[in-house]
Structure formats: C-alpha cells, structure tokens
Amino acid sequence: MKWLEQRRQQSVFQDLPKEAQDLIAKVRAHFTRADLDILREAYLFAETAHTGQTRASGEPYIRHSLAVADILADLRLDPVTIAAALLHDVAEDTGVTLEQVSERFGAEIAALVDGVTKLGQIEWQSREERQAESLRKMFLAMANDIRIVLIKLADRLHNMRTLQYLPEWKRKRTAQETLDIYAPLAERLGIGQIQGELQDLAFKELHLEAYNEIATQLAQAAATSQLDRVIDLLHRELNRAGIKVERYSITARPKHIHSIWQKMQRPKYAGASVARIY
C-alpha cells in the first residue's frame, strides 16, 4: 500500500515544474510515510498568488518561495513547515488574507505564515538597537513556534544570496542587519551551515577587499591542505582499532571567511597567515 501511495503521489506531482518536483522528492526522502499532497497544493496556491510578481533580479517571485522551502528541506524539516515556507509571503505581498490561508491549509500553517509576516515587520532604529541582546530575545519570544524563526532565517539566506540585485544602500543595510541579528540567531539555534553562509555573504558586501584577499589566500592554502591527509590517518587508526568504516563518517572543511577574519583581529593572531588559521 505504501508503494502504491508513493506511485499515486508521483503521478499527481508530474504536472508541477521540475523545481517543485525536486523539492517534494527531497522531502519525501526523509518523510517516506507523509502525505505530501499539501506541498503540491501550497506550491500551486503560492504560484497563483504571486502571478505577475517578480524579484529585483527579474525572476518570477515563486522562485524565491521555492528557494526558501528548499533550504528548509535540506535541514530535513517537516512537510507542514515546508508548505508554510512556500506560502510565507502570500499574506504580506499579495491580496491573499490569513483567513484564506487558514481555510485552505489549516490553522497551524496560517499561524506560521502570520508569524513570519510579523517578524518581517520589526524595524530597528539604530545599529546599537539591532545588536541589543534584549531584541534578539524579543525576536525569539515573538516566534512562539521555533519553525517561524527557521523560515525567516531561510528567507534571509536566500535574500542574501541574491543581494547583488538591490541598490547599494539597501545591500549595506541588509548585510549589517544580517551580521547583527540573523547570523547570531542561527548560531543560537546551532545551525552552523546557515550562520557561516550568512556571515560570509554579509562580510563580502561590507568588506569586499578584505573578503577577496582572504578568499584568495584560502584557495592557495587549500591547494596544499593537510586536511585530506589527516582524514586518511584517522581512517587508518579507526580501522586498526577495529571500528568498521561503515559505522562512521569523517569530514573536514576550512573555516568560513568571516570566521577567519574575526580570528585575525585578535592580538594572538596578529600578522598570522590565513593558512595558519585555516
């Protein structure tokens, strides 16, 4: 029966664009028993609501909704959260009301969409205000469901990935806000992959020369990296200890560019090369 249900869902999803089908397939890989019809309905609803709307890049707005949902699918979030991500801008940027979202998708998804909308309406008057710990706590307190914050973080990450299409003043403001608020939030939630990318994208916008210098040195250091040799050594030692290779996984990566720059600011690392810190 499970196989038949999957075949039925696959046939139903064939009318969707490839990006939407890929998203649903990614969710299905981690939620094999879930009814994913809600994702199809959420995509079609959002696509209709955003008809005629484009991003600053000129792309159809629905691409942003898909990108935000895809980021959360990579974090293996549940289908309800993914559906809310697809719908996260409909109540703010289209003529759709929260009542309509609730009627179509239920109170849980409507509450997530409402929470994301409210978080997007917070405004800070100064950098000092943005950096205040009390505001970060308020940000989390307003989100009575942690999924709201996760959707907002994914929304900010995709906005940062497409920052180049905005005017300079808005790029600078968005980048600084990202460093002050969103990257620390990602750190507090333990989502290192999002934290690091947010920091690097913001740092690139605010300090392009320093970013490029570190990126160049990082590429040179990676060419002579000892990380692979360390991994091979660990594999050999684990095998020698009788630990089966299929029972573990060893990965390594260099530090993010912003993280390297932060370390270079400390007296301990004054004058240190990127290769040493990396």
Q: What is the pLDDT of residue 49?
A: 95
Q: What is the pLDDT of residue 1?
A: 45
Please name the residue that has the structure tokens 């959260």: 81
Indicate the SS3 state at residue 264: helix
**Catalytic residue numbers?**
92-93
Q: How many CA atoms lie within 13 A of 155 on its CB side?
A: 22
DSSP 103-171: HHH-HHHHHHHHHHHHHHT---SSHHHHH-HHHHHHHHHH-SSHHHHHHHHHHHHHHHHTGGGS-HHHH
Cβ burial 251-273 (10 Å sphere, 16+ → b, else e): eeebbbbbbbbebbeeeeeeeee
Q: How confident is the prediction along the chain (278 residues), in pLDDT tens digits per residue?
A: 454 455 555 556 778 899 999 999 999 999 998 889 999 999 999 999 999 999 999 999 999 999 999 999 999 999 999 999 999 999 988 889 999 999 999 999 999 999 999 888 777 666 666 666 656 666 776 667 889 999 999 999 999 999 999 999 999 999 998 998 899 889 988 999 999 999 999 999 998 888 788 778 777 666 556 666 777 777 787 788 877 766 667 665 667 766 665 666 655 555 555 545 54
Give the phi and the psi of residue 54 in degrees, each rounded to 5: -130, 160
Give the phi and the psi of residue 60 in degrees, each rounded to 5: -55, 140
Query: What's the rounded Cα separation, in Å, for the pair 111 and 82?
Result: 14
Are 203 and 261 spatial neighbours (Cβ–Cβ below 8 Å)? yes
Q: What is the pLDDT of residue 189?
A: 87
Helix 79-86, helix 37-49: angle, nearest 10:
10
Q: What is the pLDDT of residue 201?
A: 96
Q: What is the pLDDT of residue 4?
A: 45
Q: What is the pLDDT of residue 33?
A: 87
Are 226 and 166 spatial neighbours (Cβ–Cβ below 8 Å)? no
Query: What's the rounded Cα separation, in Å, for the pair 23 and 40?
Result: 10
> In the numeric block, which tokens belong to residue 265?
């600011």
Strand partners of residue 54: 60
Query: What's the rounded Cα separation, in Å, for the pair 182 and 176?
Result: 10
Q: Tell me which residue of 241, 240, 276, 237 sits closest to 260, measured CA to CA.
A: 276
Please give the model's pTM, rounded to 2 decimal places. Answer: 0.80
Query: What's the rounded Cα separation, in Å, for the pair 177 and 182?
Result: 7
